[in-house]
Amino acid sequence: MRILVLPGDGIGPEITAATIHVLRAAARSHQLKLEIVEDVVGHASLERYGTTVRPDLLDKVRAHDGLILGPTATIEFREPEKGLINPSSYFRKSLDLFANIRPARTYKGVSSKVGEFDLIVVRENTEGYYADRNMEQGNAELLVTKDVVVSLRRITRQACARVARVAFELAMERKRHVSAVHKANALKLGDGMFLEECHRQKEQFPQVTLDEFIVDAMMAHVIRAPSRFDVIVTTNMYGDILSDLTAELTGSIGLGSSLNAGADYAMAQAAHGCAPDIAGKNLANPFSLILSASRLLAWHGRRKGEPGFARAAASIDEAVAAAIAAHEITRDIGGSLGTKETGVALASRF
């Protein structure tokens, strides 16, 4: 497997280094051929090339079997015509990474106020309210007058159907329960179409239970009893918010993983941002990116029919759980190790 790694901004290079260390240890342990190539995006690319994502980088990504993108700055990267391209949204759109898969689970050794749970949020990733990715050209947010803004939301039947299918496929590997989250009581056409496609996919998976929750009520249900949920599927904006909530309910968003998957490509990302306030201080928790990289290995193994990668992914997940239980962790979740030391300790478990 050939992986292109883009460390990103802020804490990105630190947690990426720890992730690479763990991946190489897991690959040796499972006798896997793993080639890791590093390049730059974000501020490092802007300084070197005058743009946050240079034009030839997309072809380089496509020539690899997977992409690991470290956290990057976002707010200041909103003017692509000036070379200020948001790397995350750029790759999601350019590679058609339509499903953002966000597992969230509790661990022994990290306190959770809501009890034990293990669920996955599957978020549609290419349309919805996101003005920077739901138009072929231009932007879906319009300044009509200096005092009036109109934001357009795009919902397509194809996008609803394919993200729903991913959710049902995941549920077949788990507890066979899918919860569709929507606001069809207010957004009758768009969210109504989303629900229609969820029910159509349900017909192909009769073993899976499907229920529905209005998004605002879902926030209360998840906080009250997250253990009742297995796979949650929803549209882009709702999923963005809900997946951060479920990750934080585990005890820290630094424990949440994220895989952006499409038909042909996949990109692992940490669930959190680039945290420039602690960059370079060896404080950042690397587990989110490590667990995301694990999801990338499993995705590649399923796609290529190579079970060794799935076994390696499972061993990384098990090693993370064991490290947390042993308090071989960073300070944000109750440990005393630095970013680098956490990666070294985790790699030593293989």
**How many C-alpha atoms does 272 have within 13 Å on its Cβ side?**
22
Burial of 330 by CB count in 10 Å (0-12 exposed, 13-18 middle, 19+ buried)? buried
Same domain, 236 and 288: no
Note whether 320 and 287 are within 8 A (CB).
Answer: yes
Which among 216, 249, 282 is the end of a domain? 249
Same domain, 226 and 266: no
- Average pLDDT for 319-336: 95
Which among 190, 215, 249 is the end of a domain? 249
| pLDDT recorded at residue 228 | 97
Same domain, 234 and 156: yes
Q: Reduced to 3 states, what is the DSSP secondary structure of residue 119?
A: strand
Position 132 pLDDT exceeds 80: no
Distance of CA 326 to the CA centre of its chain: 26
| pLDDT recorded at residue 175 | 97
Which among 192, 224, 249 is the end of a domain? 249
Count the domains in the chain: 2
Same domain, 205 and 125: yes
Q: Which domain holds residue 295?
A: 1-112+257-350
Burial of 35 by CB count in 10 Å (0-12 exposed, 13-18 middle, 19+ buried)? exposed
A 10 A CB-CB count for 138 gives 8
Same domain, 331 and 228: no
CATH number for the domain spanning 201: value is: 3.40.718.10
| pLDDT recorded at residue 349 | 96
Tell me: the pLDDT tens digits for 105-131?
Answer: 999 999 888 999 999 999 999 999 887
Same domain, 164 and 97: no
Same domain, 299 and 230: no
- Average pLDDT for 317-327: 97
Q: CA 342 to CA 326: how far, in whole Å?
A: 12
* Cα→Cα distances 223→39, 110, 122, 172, Å: 40, 17, 18, 25
